Structures are given as C-alpha cells and as structure tokens.
Structure 1
Amino acid sequence: MSNTPDKIRRYYKFIRFMLKYWNSDLFRKTSSVALNDNIEEDSDHDFDQSPEELVEDLKAMGPTYIKLGQLLSTRPDLLPDAYLNALANLQDNVSPVPFEEVKKIVEEELGTRISKAFQWFDEKPMASASIGQVHRAELHSGRPVAVKVQRPGIRKQFLEDLETLDEMTQMAVKHLETAKTYAIDEVFAELRRILVNELDYKKEAQNLKTLKNNLQNFEHLIVPAPVDDYSASRILTMDFVSGKKITSLSPLRQLENDFSELVEELVEAYLQQIINDGFAHADPHPGNIKFTQDNKIALIDLGMIARFTPHLQENLIELLLAISQSNGEKTAKTLLKMSEQTEDSSPREFAKTVSSVIMESENSRAKDLQTGRILIQLNRLALKTHIKLPVEINILGKILLNLDQIVAMLDPEFDLRNAIQRNVHEIMRKKMLTELKPENFFSALIESKHFLERMPERMNTISENLANNDFKLKIDAIDEKRVTDGFQKVANRITLGLIIAAMIIGASMLMQIPSDFTIFGYPGLAMLFFLLAAAGAIILSYVIIFRDENLNNKN
C-alpha cells in the first residue's frame, strides 16, 4: 500500500507515542479502570502528561489517531474529567482545510462549478473534524443546507495508518497474552470497519434516509434529510439544522424547562432503533446531538451506525429487561446464552460476578451514568472469564453510555431503568403487530405448505425402515476414539502395575533363597527384580502425575 520509508516513518511515530504513554501513570490508571481493578480515587492527582499534551500528541499523530481520541472522549469510565474535556475539543477544534482545496473537491465531486451548484457557500467552516469539515450553504431554490466536505488525501492516510495499526495489533495478539485475552485484534477489526465506512459519504446519506424514515413518528426528534443530487463519495449535502451542542445547554434553561417528556421520547427512539428496527445511530455522543431553540433534538453525523439481527434483538430485549429489573441471575443467563465458550471459560464465576454488579447498581439515576457503563463492565468480566460475547454488546454499551450522558444533562434525576421497562413492553407490542403483516403470514404459509408436501414421503421412508429393521439413530455425543484410547491407556496402566507388583513379590520370595551372586549383600537376582520394579514404578508415577493430559489443568 505504501513504500518502505513511509511505513518506517509510521512505525516510528506509533512506537514513539506508545513508549511515551506506556509507562505513564495515566495509562496505568486507564488500564486499571478498564480491567475493573481496585484503585484509589484521587481527583487532584497530577499525571505525567497534561490533558493538553495528550491532545497535541494525538493531533501530531494524524487524523486516524484524532478519531481514536474522539472515541476516547466519550468514555467517562476510563479517563479523568480533565482529559475527557480536552479530548472533546478534538471533535470540532481541528485546523480547517483552506477554502481553495474545499472548492476543488466540491467541484470534482459534483462535476460543476461551486457557484452554479449553490446560490451561496460560506467559505468559513461551521465545524472542522478529523475526516471532514462542514460549511453552511444555500441552494438556488433557497433551501438552507449544510455541506460536509472530506479532507483531501484523508482516505489514503487513513488506510495507511490502519494498515500499521493492523500489523501492530496482530503482532501484539501473537506475543502478548493480555492482547489475546482481550481480543484486541477483533476490537481493531470493528474499528477499521467503522472508520472505512465513515470515509464514504454515500453510505452516510443512505443512513440519514433510513434513520429519518424510522423515526418519523417522533415529533421532537430531527434527522436532517440528505440532498442526493448534491452528494457524492467525498461530499454530503443535507438540510441545515440550527441549534447548539447539547453540552452547551445553560443551567438557567435547564431550570426553566421540564425536559422529562423529551428525554422519554429520546429513550424510546433509541430502544426502537435497537430492538425493533435493528438499525441504530451508534455514536450519539454530545457532539453529534444538537439542541434546537424550540427544544427539539437533532441527530446528526450518521457515519457510524450499528445493525442488530432479529435473533440478537430478541436476546437484547431479555437483557435490557433483566438489567432494568436488577435481576442479576437473568442478566447472566441471557449473556451466557448469547456467548461463545471454550474449555477455559468460567461461566459460574461470570454469573456470580454479574449478579453482584447488577445488585450494586440498583436504584441508580441518570446522573450516575450506570446503564451503559454496566454493559461495558459486563463485557470486560466476560473477557476476564474467557467468555466471548457478541461485539454488538459492547456497541450497545457505548450507545447507552453516551445516551446516559445526554439524559443526565437534560434530567439528572431521570430513572432510565424504569423508562426501559415501560418502553420495551410497548415496543415489543408494536414489533409483534409488525410481524403479523400479510407478507410475513404468507411466508410462514409457504413454509408450512412445503412441510406438509414432504411429510407423506418422509413418513413412508421412516415406516419402511422400521419394517425392515433398518431404522438407525446416529448420536454424536462422545468422541468414540478418544474414549477407546482412554480405556486402552487405563488397561495398560493396570497391566503394568500388576507386573511391577508381581516383580516385587517375586523379589521378596527370592530374598529367602541363598545365592553366591549378591548385590549390596543381598541375593543378586532378587535385587535385580526389585530394582527393575522400583524403576518401573517411578516411571509410571512420573507419567501419571506429570504427563497425563489435562491432569495439571483440571482447574
């Protein structure tokens, strides 16, 4: 993908960054929290690197690492507040691209002059992010729009950085047990998929259409519609939504307004996306949420979305209800049902710890930021006990963690768990009604028809096999060869043990017979039998204790 000098420079840049932060106390604190270790809280602690230094280092690393910093800024469970606030500035405090370059990209993508496509185009960007920047504009029809333009050369740079990260990740998983345990190669694969999708604005335009259609019944939620004729792979034109970041909501406005109904609608909308639509806005951090003057919420930046299969949605319904009811046993049971387990897995330990975590978080409110954090914590517990949960669980945790932050800003005393219980039941009712659509009914009818058509033939085959005594049941419950080998090993050990015992008894009997041939003053033949028996016993004991498969790893 790139020549050797460029690759060496990228490796050098990455290794230099890691060496700087690997042994820092900031990294140790982050790792301890991530692994759920017990550490002392010290809000006044001065870390080796300041928040501003971390931000500048990420900027120097380039846009890919800026994007990683943005993801970190939405994780209050990992970093101190000062670092979260500093990283949040990465979301809209990146140096803008000169307008001449923006103009060139717009005209290349649209195939016409910018003055012909737009009646007015603001040269100064509204916001400048790591992948692109947004300009206000107006179509010749008078329609106000926001135009997102991708940074020049960003795709090539992203792919090269991702190639470096991929190689480093594979190396870490190969040589470091911790990296393997926490499956950082799979985490990176998911990150790569997300970032590559964000580079294609055509996909984001389609995401906007889908989400707008799915949320059309929520009157206080706004999703800007894309303008297809003015959008392409590196440019996205959509309706302009006037508003401020939800983080800039003033305390006075919070006191003057009751946002409980708005919060209820927002929670219902996200639950519908997750457990009914199977298509969710996966990055609802405060920077992607606008609060309008008429107290509406606009969901923008649909570069990152999550998809949930129908089977997974059913499990997520059970999981969310179990968590909202503080039912630790049911939560653990649902997670285990969704998981992949190996010989090293410890489901009992996992279930016990899950129950404790769920019980400790009972009666929490929005200001406690518990719901999403719990899911992320449960995912880490699963990794620690060698249980592999679907990656969607971590995505859901991230969605709910960001949602917790927004809800806490609008209504700190809001009970998110009760809201989940109320809305899940209603959404389930709507989902069942949706599944009773005629097309679903006819699909089931066709399947039933095929089943009934084949039934007589199958019944005739079964009855014929029974009559001819040819009916067989094949049960693949055990490894027959392994069991046979095991019995053979046991038989060999018993036989060898009997031979050794016979040699010892024979040696004892020969001790009573005088002989000119002696060893250590005892009859020589008897001593030979005894020494051979002793050697055989020692070898057999060694094999049984140290060599038998799984004996030392039975726990």
Structure 2
Amino acid sequence: MSNTPDKIKRYYKFIHFMLKYWNSDLFRQTTSAAIDEGLAEEDDEHHFDQTPEELVEDLKAMGPTYIKLGQLLSTRPDLLPDEYLKALANLQDNVSPVPFEEVKNIIEEELGTKISKAFNLFDEKPIASASIGQVHHAELHSGKPVAVKVQRPGIRKQFMQDLETLDEMTQLAVKHLEKAKTYAIDEVFAELRRILINELDYFKEAQNLKTLKQNLQRYEHLIIPAPVDDYSSSRVLTMEFVSGKKITSLSPLRQMENDFSELVEELVEAYLQQIINDGFAHADPHPGNIKFTDDNRIALIDLGMVARFTPQLQENLIELLLAISQSNGEKTAHILLKMSEMSEESQPKAFAKTVSDVIMESENSRAKDLQTGRILIQLNRLALNTHIKLPVEINILGKILLNLDQIVAILNPEFDLRAAIQRNVHEIMRKKMLSELKPENFFSTLIESKHFLEKMPERMNRISENLANNEMKIKIDAIDEKRVTDGFQKVANRITLGLIIAAMIIGASMLMQIPSDFTIFGYPGLAMLFFILAAVGAIVLSYVIVFRDENLNNKN
C-alpha cells in the first residue's frame, strides 16, 4: 500500500509515541488497574509523568488517525484515569484549513460541474476545520442556505496507511504481550477502523442524516439537517444550514431567562427512543456536534459516528436503564452478567457486590453531578477488574449518556435524569409494543402457526400409536448407555476374577498344612497347583489392566 521509507517513518513515529507512554507512570498505573491490583486511594490525586493536556497534544501531533483513536479511547475507562478520559472526550481536531483552490477542485471534481454553477454563493473561509474535512457556508441558486462539508485531499490515503501500521502493530502486540490481550487492543483497533472507514464515506453520513431525521420527526425542538443529494458525493456532503452556537457557549443570562425543562425532557426521550426503540443512535453527541439555535432548539449536525443496537440488545438495555434509574444494584449486576462473556478468571460474585455498592451510592444524584453516563463508565472498569467482558455497546452507551449528561446539566442542572428515564422508558416500551401489534408483524407468526396446526394431528396420531404398541422410545445423547453398561460389566468381571484368585491363594495356604504324598518342589502338590494358577491369573489380569485396557490406551 505504501513505499518502504514512508512505512519506516510511520513505524518510527508510532514506536516513539508508544515508548514514551509505555514506560510512563500513567501506563503502569493503568496496568495495575487492568490486572486487578486495585487503585490506591492516593491515585485519585496522582500526578503522572504526562498530563492529560500533553497526551492530547501528542495525539494531535501524530495526525488525524490518532486524534480519532484518542476520541475512541475516551470510551475506555479501563485504559485511562478519569481526568485523561475527560481530556480525550473533549479532544477536538481543529487544524489549519485547506486552501480554497484545493477545496474548489475537489467540489468540481466530485460534483462534475463548476462551483459557480452548483452554488449561488460560496464562502471561501470555512466555518469549521477538522482533520477529515472542513465546512463552508454556501447558498443554492434557489436561495436556500446550506453547509458544505469537503473532505481533505489525500486524507483517505493517509488514514488507510495509518490503519495498516496500527493493524500490524496491534496483531504483533496481542500475539506477544499479555497486557495487550488484557486491554483487548485488537478490539479497540477494530472499532477504530470501522468508525474511520464509515466517516470517510460521506454517502453513509448522508444516509445517517436521513434515517435519524425520519426517526425523530415528531420531536419539534430537535433539528437534524437534511442532506442535499444532488450536491453530495463520497467526499462532499451538502446539507441544510443550521444557524446556532455551541451549547457550551450558552450564557448564564439566557439560562436564567428561559426554562429549558421541556427541551431537556424531549432530548432525553429522543435519545432513549434511538437506543431502545430504533436501534440506531447518534453516537457522538459531544458539545461540538450539538448546536443551540436562536429559537431555543437543538440541532444534531454531525452523524459520521452512529451506533446500532440489535433487538436482543435493546431489550437488555431497557432492563439495564430501568434498573439503574431505580437504584436496583442487584438487578443491574444480574443484567450485566447476562450480557457478558465469562472466563475461568471471572469473578461474578465480586462484580455483583461492587456493582450493587456503586448503584446504591449514586442514588438521588441530579444532572449537575453527571452520574448517569459516569456510572456506566465505572461499571465497565469494574468489569475489567473482575475479568468480565462487557459488550462494546455498553461502552458506546456510556459515552452517549456521559455527553448527554453534560448537555442536560447545562440546560437544567436540577433535572432528575433518573426519573425522566423511568418515565420515558415505560412510555417508549408501551408504544413499541403497540407498534408490534400491527397486522403485518403477525404474518410470520401466523404462517408458523398454520404449519404447526397442519402437522399436529399427524404427529399426535404417531405418538398415540407408538404408546399403544409400547414402541415409544426416548433417546438421550448426553450419556452413551452401551458404553456405561459395558464398563460396569468389565468392572464386575474383574472383581469376580480377583475374588477367585484371592480364594485360590487362601485355599493354597490352607492346603500347605495338610501332608501329601504328591509334592512339587517339596511342597504339597495340590497347594502348589492352586498357588501357580492364582499367580498366573493375577499376572494375566494385571497385563490386561495395564496394557489392554481401552480407557488407558485411548484417553478421550
């Protein structure tokens, strides 16, 4: 994929970065947590060799792929302390903008027309510039304002080269380093690869925008910009322009003058619907991807990263969120264990006990305490410490709720998020059950029922006939009956032969006391015959046991 000098440079850059942090106090502390040595109380205020800010800057210097890796690591509480997770969660990849001439060339190449023919107005200065692309404000000839996201030149090639390097180094590490297996860095990389490849394809982001807009169309306070298909491609995404500011820049005066409780309620309900009903969620609602409009509405403007939840997982997440919102630690632990993968080293009892303690301690927390998402992050860390593997979707859900906590805390610090979860989960479940009662959802069930009823008389007649003729047989594959009975017979035969040999020896010893004219080697002949026969029998039995026994020769 790339020439040797470039490959060497990438390896050198990666190895230099890893050596710096591999030997650092930060990595040693993280390792101790991962291998269940626990964290000392003083670690809460520990000062590591590298500060969170230094780690962020080092990742920025490594390039866009590693910036995305840092953002992904913010969902892995098992790898880094809380202050580093927070720094990585807020990691923004603001970089120098691409010159307008290059942007113009990309747009014209992708859309197949002059930029002046595609747009009535096009601002040369970008309104946002990130590692993968930058966004320009423009206006269609119809007068409709749009935002145009343009992918950086050569970024796809750079990402694929970095991913190639990471893939090779990850496979090497997992193969030879136990700590790499403990951290499951191959899974971290696989998730990074999937996210990056999806983000590099603006067609997929356009489809994500359409899907989410359709799913959330009934929420009047939420805005999802619609893509403009005729002016979009895999490297150019044109969508409706939404005017607003970052939600973190909301002024205290505006907070005091407005009651955002209804808006917050709608936002929470919308995200719960995405997670437990639609199975399709905006996975990265950090403040940089959320705009607050002048008319007090919320816009989700970046859907490069989405999460998908299977129907079975949705049911588990419903139970999990309800258990957490009800401060039911025992039920929370039970649901998590049901969703998890276990190994011989797993400690489910210790995990369940600690989970119960965490849930009980977090009772009565409000939005300003940022508890809901943080609890899931903490539960992930507890799972690792007890060698229990939670689904990766729990990490994603933790990140979603952690970001949601921050937004809710800004808009309404006293908002009771747990009560809102209970209210909305019950309502969403009710609507979901009603939607599943539609006639079209019964077709498959009706067809299966039809086949069952058609076959029922024939099967019942066959069973009745077999019972009447005493031909009913039940076959159990768990035990090989013939092998068991053969084994018992073999044991019984050997015990019987052993008793005969013992009796012959005892009889021979008793006959030794009776004088006889028939002698062998000067001893009574009959006694010696019994003794010789017993000895031969013992030797044969020993030979069969040692050399001919099937269980010894063919160990299963």
TM-score clears 0.5: yes
* Counterpart code for 2:97: P
Given the superposition, is the C-alpha separation of residues 31 and 253 from structure 1 closer, same or farther in structure 2, using an over 3 Å criterion?
farther
Q: Which moved more, 1:255-264 or 1:119-128?
A: 255-264
Counterparts in 2 of 1:321-340, with a 5 A limit?
Answer: 321-340=322-341
**How far apart, CA to CA, are the structure 1 residues paired with 2:351 and 2:262?**
37
Using a 3 Å threshold, how does the CA distance of structure 1 residues 173 and 59 change in structure 2: closer, same or farther?
same
User: Taking every aligned residue pair, what percent have the same amino acid on both sides?
Assistant: 84
Matched letter for residue 259 of structure 1: F
Residue of structure 2 in register with 1:220 after alignment: 221
How far apart, CA to CA, are the structure 2 residues paired with 1:248 and 1:363?
28
Shift of 1:72: 5.0
- 158 and 82 in structure 1: CA distance in 2 versus 1, 3 angstrom threshold: closer
Partner SS state of residue 295, structure 1: coil
Per the alignment, residue 19 of structure 1 pairs with: 19
Corresponding residue for residue 142 of structure 2: 141
SS of residue paired to 2:126: coil
Residue aligning to 2:62: 61
Give TM-score scaled by structure 2 length. Answer: 0.81
- Residues of 2 paired with 1:197 and 1:174: CA distance? 28
Asked if the contact 1:372–1:401 (Cα under 8 Å) also holds between the matched residues in 2, the reply is yes
Letter in 2 for 1:458: R
Instruction: Give per-residue Cα distances to partners, 1:138-189, cap 9 Å, x unaligned.
Output: 1111110001111111112112211221222222222222322332212221
Please tell me whether the aligned partners of residues 223 and 299 of structure 1 are also in contact (alpha carbons under 8 angstroms). yes
8 Å CA contact 2:134, 2:152 repeated in 1: yes
Q: Which AA in structure 1 matches 2:324?
A: I
Look up the match of 2:202: 201
User: Does 394-403 or 141-150 show the bigger shift?
Assistant: 394-403
Whole-angstrom CA distance in 2 between matches of 1:470 and 1:113: 84
TM-fit CA distance, 1:469: 4.7
What RMSD in Å do the two structures reach over aligned CA positions? 3.2
Cα distance in 1, alignment partners of residues 480 and 385 from structure 2: 29
CA contact (8 A) 1:181 1:384 kept: no
Q: 2:258 aligned with 1:257, yes or no?
A: yes
Offset at 1:192?
A: 1.3
Alignment of 1:79-228 (within 5 A): 84=86, 90-91=91-92, 93-228=94-229
Residues 14 and 417 of structure 1: is their aligned pair in 2 closer, same or farther, counting only changes over 3 Å?
same
- Residues 5 and 191 from structure 1, CA distance in 2 versus in 1: closer, same or farther, beyond 3 angstroms? same
Cα distance, 1:467–1:110 mapped onto 2, change above 3 Å: farther
DSSP-derived class of the 1:340 partner: coil
TM superposition shift of 1:370:
1.6
Distance 2:157 2:479 in 1: 52
Deviations 1:65-109 (A, max 9, x none): 122234456889955669956x57752521111111111111111
* Greater Cα shift, 360-369 or 218-227: 360-369
CA–CA distance in structure 2, aligned partners of residues 433 and 396 of structure 1? 26
The whole-number CA distance in structure 2 between the counterparts of 1:35 and 1:363 is: 32
Q: Please list the CA deviations of residues 244-296 of structure 1 after superposition, one character each: whole Å capped at 9, or x if unmatched.
A: 11111122222222222211111110001011111100111111111111111
The 2-side partners of 1:68 and 1:415 are apart by 33
Q: Which amino acid aligns with 1:93?
A: N
Aligned amino acid, residue 265 of structure 1: E
* Partner-residue secondary structure (3-state), 1:341: coil
Aligned to 2:10: 10
The one-letter code matched in structure 2 to 1:17 is F
Q: Contact 2:75/2:377 (CA < 8 Å) preserved in 1?
A: no
- TM-score scaled by length of structure 1: 0.81
Check whether the contact 2:209–2:225 (CA below 8 A) recurs between aligned residues.
yes
Q: Deviations over 1:428-473 (max 9, x none)?
A: 1111111111211233222211221222333344344445555443
What is the rounded CA distance, in whole Å, between the counterparts of 2:42 and 2:251 in structure 1?
Answer: 29
Native 8 Å contact 1:92 1:127 kept in 2: no
- Per-residue deviation, residues 183-236 of structure 1 (Å, max 9, x unmatched): 221222122111111111101000000100111111111100000111111111
1:502-537: per-residue Cα shift (whole Å, max 9, x none)? 9xxxxxxxxxxxxxxxxxxxxxxxxxxxxxxxxxxx
Contiguous gaps of at least 5 residues in structure 1 = 503-548, 550-555
Change beyond 3 A, Cα 1:44–1:314: closer
Structure 2 unpaired stretches of 5+: 503-554
C-alpha distance in structure 1 between counterparts of 2:354 and 2:53, whole Å: 37
Asked whether the equivalents of residues 75 and 395 of structure 2 are also in contact (C-alpha less than 8 Å), the reply is no
Go from structure 1 to structure 2 and tell me whether the alpha carbon gap of 1:475 and 1:168 turns closer, same or farther (over 3 Å shift): farther
Q: Which residue of 1 aligns with 2:292?
A: 291
> RCO higher in 1 or 2 (8 Å CA, sep ≥ 6)?
2
Q: Distance in 1 between matches of 2:175 and 2:13?
A: 22
| Structure 1 CA distance for aligned equivalents of residues 350 and 291 of structure 2 | 43
Q: Which moved more, 1:214-223 or 1:389-398?
A: 389-398
Matched residue of 2:120: which SS?
Answer: strand
Question: Equivalent residue of 1:136, what SS?
Answer: strand
Distance 1:299 1:58 in 2: 26
Q: Do 1:74 and 1:84's aligned partners in 2 also have CA atoms closer than 8 Å?
A: no
1:91/1:130 contact within 8 Å kept: no
> Structure 1 residues 275 and 44 mapped into 2: Cα distance closer, same or farther (>3 Å)?
closer
Q: Is the 8 A contact 2:31 2:179 kept in 1?
A: no
User: Secondary structure of the equivalent of 1:91?
Assistant: coil
Considering only CA atoms, is the larger Rg found in Structure 1 or Structure 2?
Answer: 2
